[in-house]
Homo-oligomer: A and B are copies of this chain.
């Protein structure tokens, strides 16, 4: 469904969100450890998210990563920043274009599914996921 890069990115973002109160920064090492991702690869993914404006980063001692507005960051914006639009725009059967006027055989059935996925990712924000994690209702490592 999502690429590994995207899975790493989402887990990292959720963890960062749990730690980002009052402009606090988290270091890459902590993020990797708490989200169960390889450190160097996580750095790459965070770079992309940072460039997309979903994440603040600061170099040097007392530097690290932080999220200002977890309530405003949707899962969709994260997925889009890492995996692009393929999940939202691409054809289920891999046809070059997804065109309702010349639909592939799965067009109708798949469209509903994809809209559901889209809505879910658009309406889910980092804050609620981070809250669940902080409260112990959900987990990032296993």
Chain A positions within 8 Å of B, measured between CB atoms, are: 1-2, 4, 7-8, 10-11, 14, 36, 75, 87, 90, 92-97, 99, 102-107, 109-110, 112-113, 116-117, 120, 124, 129-130, 132-133, 137-142
Most buried by B among A4, A11, A90, A93: A93
Question: Complex Cα distance A109/B116, Å?
Answer: 11
Question: Complex Cα distance A120/B47, Å?
Answer: 37
Residues of B within 8 A of A141 (CB): 95
Question: Complex Cα distance A44/B107, Å?
Answer: 26
19 CB contacts below 8 A, A to B, read A1-B1, A1-B90, A2-B92, A7-B94, A8-B94, A10-B93, A10-B106, A14-B105, A95-B142, A96-B142, A103-B137, A103-B138, A104-B140, A104-B142, A105-B129, A105-B140, A107-B138, A113-B117, A113-B120
Question: Complex Cα distance A112/B116, Å?
Answer: 9
**Copies of the chain in the assembly:** 2
Knowing A109-B124, A113-B120, A120-B109, the reply to whether A97 touches B142 (Cβ < 8 A) is yes
CB distance from A15 to the nearest CB of B (A): 10
CB distance from A7 to the nearest CB of B (A): 4
Knowing A93-B10, A116-B113, the reply to whether A129 touches B106 (Cβ < 8 A) is yes
Known: A2-B94, A10-B106. 13 other contacts (CB 8 A): A1-B1, A2-B92, A7-B93, A7-B94, A8-B94, A93-B140, A95-B140, A99-B142, A103-B137, A104-B138, A105-B138, A112-B120, A113-B120
